């Protein structure tokens, strides 16, 4: 059974994420590796989604040296409709990334979606849970994300903890943090391997 509207429509989570990521930066060409990191999918899954996207005409492929690069083909006759559909279905991550782009380190070192949206089990009415590693308050985050919240029509619950505090809490066995760290994450800022490690100190 599909676990989300996007998966039910497109047959996979990777395809809509891929097209959304490419459409967010229409002037940029991506390597497969860059796309894998951007959408948090495996090499095989990304490769299959790229092949399908090229067949639909939504994505153009070009050889540069020994590798292929990909970009959105905005001239595709179905591109405007697909983009609108994706902004409703797969838009949260991109909208949140744009909203967080105004805050760099030390306020925002890394950020990710967790909970139902990261598990791809969310509905269009689900809240979006955002976790930020950085020195910023949840009040400042709420202000920063207010525009994205309006755009998406969904409530965003954001929390932030400084890296040092996170390391201490993870080491002390904080149950909530270990649950978040052990679950799926959809990275919005930074990379998952850059997050503090979930090491318990007995």
Partner 1 sequence: MDAEAVDFQRRLAEVARADDSLKQVGARAEVAVQKLQLARRWAHRASTLATIPEFADDPDFAFASMYQAFQDAADAFLCAHGWRPGGDRAHQRTFQLAAAGLHPVDPETATHLHESERTLRQARREIAYDRTGVVSRRDLQDFFALAARVLPALGRRTCDVVEFSPAPADLVDWAIPDLA
- Minimum CB distance to partner 1 smaller for 42 or for 139: 139
Sign of CA dihedral 49, 17, 67, 190: negative
Q: How far is the CB of 143 from partner 1 (least distance, A)?
A: 6
CB-CB contact of 86 with 20 (8 Å): yes
- Minimum CB distance to partner 1 smaller for 62 or for 165: 165
- What count of Cα atoms within 13 Å lies in the side-chain half-sphere of residue 189? 22
Q: How far is the CB of 95 from partner 1 (least distance, A)?
A: 18
Q: How far is the CB of 3 from partner 1 (least distance, A)?
A: 25
Q: How far is the CB of 175 from partner 1 (least distance, A)?
A: 7
- Minimum CB distance to partner 1 smaller for 58 or for 166: 166
Q: How far is the CB of 114 from partner 1 (least distance, A)?
A: 14
- Minimum CB distance to partner 1 smaller for 98 or for 178: 178
Residues that bind partner 1 (CB under 8 A): 135-140, 142-143, 146, 155, 157, 159-162, 165, 169, 174-176
- Minimum CB distance to partner 1 smaller for 35 or for 133: 133
**Non-local CB neighbours of 193 within 8 Å, separated by 6+ positions:** none
- Minimum CB distance to partner 1 smaller for 22 or for 158: 158
Q: How far is the CB of 146 from partner 1 (least distance, A)?
A: 7
């Amino acid at each position: 059974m599909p676990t989300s509207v996007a998966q039910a429509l497109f047959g996979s989570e990777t395809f809509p994420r891929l097209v959304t990521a490419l459409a967010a930066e229409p002037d940029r060409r991506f390597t497969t590796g860059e796309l894998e990191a951007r959408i948090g999918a495996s090499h095989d899954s990304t490769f299959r989604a790229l092949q399908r996207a090229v067949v639909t005409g939504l994505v153009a492929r070009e050889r540069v040296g020994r590798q292929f690069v990909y970009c959105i083909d905005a001239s595709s006759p179905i591109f405007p409709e697909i983009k609108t559909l994706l902004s409703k279905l797969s838009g949260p991550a991109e909208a949140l990334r744009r909203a967080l782009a105004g805050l760099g380190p030390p306020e925002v070192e890394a950020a990710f979606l967790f909970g139902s949206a990261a598990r791809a089990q969310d509905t269009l009415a689900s809240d979006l849970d955002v976790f930020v590693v950085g020195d910023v308050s949840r009040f400042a985050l709420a202000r920063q994300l207010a525009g994205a919240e309006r755009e998406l029509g969904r409530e965003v619950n954001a929390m932030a903890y400084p890296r040092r505090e996170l390391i201490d809490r993870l080491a002390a066995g904080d149950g909530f943090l270990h649950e978040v760290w052990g679950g799926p994450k959809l990275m919005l800022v930074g990379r998952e391997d850059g997050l503090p490690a979930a090491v318990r100190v007995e």
